[in-house]
Amino acid sequence: MNRTNNELTAEARPGALTIAGFDPSGGAGVLADSRTFVAFGCSASAVITSITYQNSRQVFGAVHQSAEAIRDQIMPLLEGSFACVKTGMLPTREIVNEVARLFRETDLPAPVVDPVIVSSSGQRLVEEEALERLIEELLPLARLVTPNIPEAERLTGIEIESEAGMREAAAAIRRMGPRAVLIKGGHLTGKDSVDESEEAIDVLDNDGGVTVFRHRRVPNVELHGTGCMLSAAIAAGLGKGMSLEDSVATAKQFVWDAIRQSA
């Protein structure tokens, strides 16, 4: 049977999988992840953990999937192969346990874990027991964990007010088992931080080696879903064979361009 050029091109793209929530507004969750994967030349697949009710400004509620539904979504996809995986919103203990079990039992690559805890509008998206299981079961399996400042503080109990605090928290999270941790500094407003209108910093601890990424802020702009985009872009870079440091740098530029365009 003759195959079309589109079919051949799709086969040549690295497979990228997101396991995350569904945001009907399209700004975050699996829709944002999938768009990012495609922008990086990957073939996107998605498993939905929760159907949320939200727009670009507020989350109004959610209906979470069962652990069985998560497994039933993933298993048929495993007939293909994936070069990278990222996880986002994992709202219940049962979902975290099932996702961790799937990584242990299958050939899925070590994931980029975005530990989504609270929405940008302030609504909690993850049950307390789910967060405990995330720390115990999923973080040790991760290639990279990408918390923002509030998430890193919640995971570690460390109050972060400076680059030094980011380094300390990154090392503490890495001791929980992941190979690398990227703490995103967009929320850094402590007394030792730079003027928020000028520069944002992210701290990457990759197996003990620390790289600090500095980027000029785009003032007076808040773009819904940038954390999802960043973790998906990093995963895509890794899936295409880039180093972690280069994947982070490329992903940060991708997100910065998106923020600048939205301005």
The pLDDT tens digits of the residues spanning 21-67 come to 999 988 899 999 999 999 999 999 999 999 999 887 888 888 999 99
Can you give the residue ranges of every domain in the chain?
A: 1-142
pLDDT (0 to 100) of residue 189: 59
Segment holding 133, helix H or strand E: helix 128-133
Confidence of residue 195 (pLDDT cuts 50, 70, 90): very low
User: In 10 A of CB 194, how many CB atoms?
Assistant: 15
The three state secondary structure string of 9-22 is HHHHCCEEEEEEEE
User: What does the pLDDT look like over 135-192, one tens digit per residue?
Assistant: 999 999 999 999 999 999 999 999 999 999 999 999 999 999 999 999 998 767 544 4
Q: Are 125 and 21 spatial neighbours (Cβ–Cβ below 8 Å)?
A: yes
**Pairing state between β 209-216 and 199-206:** antiparallel
Q: Mean per-residue pLDDT for 223-228?
A: 84
Q: What are the Cα distances from residue 240, in Å, to 39, 111, 232, 244, 250? A: 13, 14, 12, 11, 12
- Termini Cα distance of the chain: 48
Query: What does the pLDDT read at residue 156?
Result: 96
- The CATH number that domain 1-142 falls under is 3.40.1190.20
More confident residue, 142 or 221: 142
At 216, the pLDDT band (50, 70, 90 cuts) reads: confident
pLDDT band at 119; cut points 50, 70, 90: low
User: What is the dihedral angle through the alpha carbons of 125, 255, 257, 122, rounded to the nearest 10 degrees?
Assistant: 20
pLDDT value of residue 1: 40
Say what the alpha-carbon torsion angle 231, 235, 241, 245 is, to the nearest 10 degrees.
20
Amino acid identity of residue 164, one-letter, is: A
Question: What SS3 state is found at 31?
Answer: helix
